[in-house]
Structure 1
Amino acid sequence: MRPSDVRRPTSDVGRRRGSVRSRSTPDAGRLTSDAPFAFGHRGDSRDHPENTAAAFDAAFAAGVDGVELDLRPTRDGVVVCHDASLARLGGGRRPLSRQTTAQARRIDVGTWFDPRFADQRLLTLDELLRRYAGRGRLLLELKKSGGPFGGRLNRRLCEAMVAAVQKRRAHGRVLVLCFDPALLAMVARLDPRLRLVRNCDRLPRDVGRWLDGQPWLDAVDFDRRLLTRGLVSTCHQRGIPVYTYSCNDARALSAALATGVDGVLSDRAGWLVQQLEKLRRTRRVNSTKRA
């Protein structure tokens, strides 16, 4: 079955594409707002080791709407980690997929960043949902595995992720991201209630046709260097919100906001919250003047 063959019930399509709610609405499942959402990229990863409890705690303390993070399969579960191994984090080159969760969690994943974070360990997906699903939205990026066992690992990752979200009843707090449409289509088949976001680092030749070929899509997350007003407008015309990664300085953020994006990812969580709060205040003032 091709990814484009997966279709949701009509009622679900109407739910995801027909509603734009204000930021004050207590609906964690909303995809757009009166000002762009602030998402911490791997948590507050500029000042904390990425994808750790320290990074996520700091991001939520700073006031983000949610955090983006990466998921990898182990031999018996799913952990929060960007790379296929822990080599970059000081934990050796053995793939996570060949380790048990308990083995992977013995590794210190904070000292590489700063010795102050020597107590940081990999989070399991279930632990992540338990600790943070009540604090904001969680953007779960599925990291695709390659090689001869890639297909099996990818299915295991998708199935385990869906099971964990179902166990915690966290559908309204979760968005599932991936660069590979086949994995997103697999998730759509496993649980049509989950909201799916296509990561994109290359501009499609025909954006409208590209969007129409992914009927399960709920939002798109573009590399900021691809953004134009026309691109964002094409997505919005089809009811598809647009997020972007990663805006870490004023120039990048200003350029992204000028295109009309609905959400921004940044390594600098606190800074991003402050910048978007300034934008909200300006919009409120302008709205009052017009009234």
Structure 2
Amino acid sequence: MQKINKSAVQMQAEVIGNKKVGPYHHIVFAVGEMASNSRPGNFVAISIGGEATSLILRRAFAIYRAIDKGVMGGSIELVIAPYGQGSKWLCSRNVGDFVDLVGPLGTSFGLPTTNANTMLIGGGYGSAPLFALAEVLKNRGCRVDMVLGASTANKIYAPLEGKRSVSSLTLTTDDGSAGIHGQISEAIPRLLREFGTEVIYSCGPMGMLSAIAKIADEFDIAHQCAVEEAMACGIGVCMTCVVPVKDPSGIKMVRSCIDGPVMDGSQIIWDKKDVLDAL
């Protein structure tokens, strides 16, 4: 088992930007030195609701981008969908407000040792960590092909920004309102052949990650994915975010908040039936 990210700190982070982008909010926090320790794939855990709230559990949010210099010092950016009570509260914060934040937490994406052909696959706002990863890979000389998918066009986050950071950008939508009509996994095999992909990075819903893992296995391509499991504490204490992985003894349950969220897609046991059969 991993230990909590050794660079993690708890702090009162000031909101220095909050902009609505389509159905999402792009929120910027001043975090000082925390930004320099943040890597693509890391996340933060935020206390939600204020001092008098009944929302006692922190909420985990993937870091969209970390900037270690600026007018306010280091900052991190989050992309948040205001769906639940906690995320709506966070999206309603104003510039100058403070939130209780712990980070950076979790594992980050591993980088190729050579100038590999990489494919970044993201579903909905879950694609947020891939934009910073694309910049890192591009600076290392890698080819970066990005595939962004969602149920409909307005749920694809910042496609124009993605286009600036990569060698190619492909969009897919379930309803055909943008790009290729169909689920994102349906387009991947053709694109892997076209681009000669050697490493896949993915973020998004667990169903999508499972489908990508199966394709990566069929093509014998390395696959790193950031799993989306509900995290109650974010520091490995509560055991609510466990994920079954392969182990010499059969199955091992690991905590996605500290052993992940970035994990080797080939080691995760995606089918619940396989877990039950092994018990």
TM range (shorter): 0.3 to 0.5
TM-score (norm 1): 0.32
Answer 1 or 2: higher relative contact order, Cα 8 Å, separation at least 6.
1
